[in-house]
Amino acid sequence: MQSLDVITFGEAMAMFMANQPGSLHEVNQFTRELAGAETNVAIGLARLGLRSGWVSKVGRDAFGTFIIERLKNENVDIESVLVDDYYPTGFQLKSKVMEGDPEVQYFRKGSAASHLSIDDFNEACFKAASHLHMTGIPLALSEQARSYAKHALSFMKKNGRSVSFDPNLRPSLWTSQEEMVEQINTAAFQADYVFPGISEGEILTGFKNPRDIASFYLEKGVKLVVIKMGEEGAFYKTLNEEGIVSGFKVKEVIDTVGAGDGFAVGVISGLIENLSIEDAVLRGNAIGALAVQAPGDNDGYPTKEELLNYIENNLQGVK
């Protein structure tokens, strides 16, 4: 098993993006793409030149083969991805919008990824990675996937690896908001870095002020909290420092899906490369801005050279 800078796990789906605006039932043509918060992060990190790996289950079907081949082409390590002979790969439909968030319909119930269990956990694969990035989605998929996620988190912490956590709330997958908040926070408290959106932070902590949201997690032992505030940028706080990093102005917002994952890519990569927290958050804001200007979930994610050029050419007024 080759060494990895970052490993992540979760559900990937085939995504069919509408080629024209309108309600999904009216659309005649779609373009197939890849969807999945964790695959977005793995792809984004690989494009920046980091060694990233993704772990999951896919069905032995066309969608599963598509996901594996796509990740191979993005130089993401998929050595520990399992292929299930019984359960299928999930998929989704996404509308095309001229502004705002697109409509997304999921066909994922009973998917192969939702049957990922502790029995599938590959210790060597996770031990080969220096950092784990985790989202709250596997916690919501099924009891099996939740147990797997908790085991992976505990394993990485016991082995001295750093962990970042993006709540990535999916209320429709939970039986209640109370259960969601409890399970998500239990995982977040074990992470080194937590990246909630401002609205997520309010749901999870009951606080509206970014400083109070951050303090809620810092008091539980989290080392760094970075709160995504959309076009306003991001607020970060540790026990010793805090600040706001302004966002990048964009000419046109095409699709907001994947912006938060792109933000995580920027911050994680910056921290791995020992940038200051402020510069790591700046990198996150930059990739988030690039993401919303592209149609697919990860189409806008840059290479290292593209990222540095974008920051240099658009830095005025930021920070």
Q: Are 17 and 96 in contact (CB under 8 A)?
A: yes
Q: Are 195 and 184 in contact (CB under 8 A)?
A: no
* Rounded Cα gap, residues 20 and 95, in angstroms: 8
Residue 133 CA, distance from chain mean position: 8
Backbone angles phi, psi at 316, to 5 degrees: -60, 125
61 classed as catalytic? no
SS3 at position 243: strand
What's the one-letter identity of residue 318?
Answer: V
Q: Within 13 Å, how many C-alpha atoms sit on residue 6's CB side?
A: 33
Catalytic residue among 5, 166, 255, 261: 261
User: What's 32's DSSP letter?
Assistant: E
* Rounded Cα gap, residues 112 and 181, in angstroms: 25
* Rounded Cα gap, residues 130 and 158, in angstroms: 13
The residues assigned a catalytic role are 261
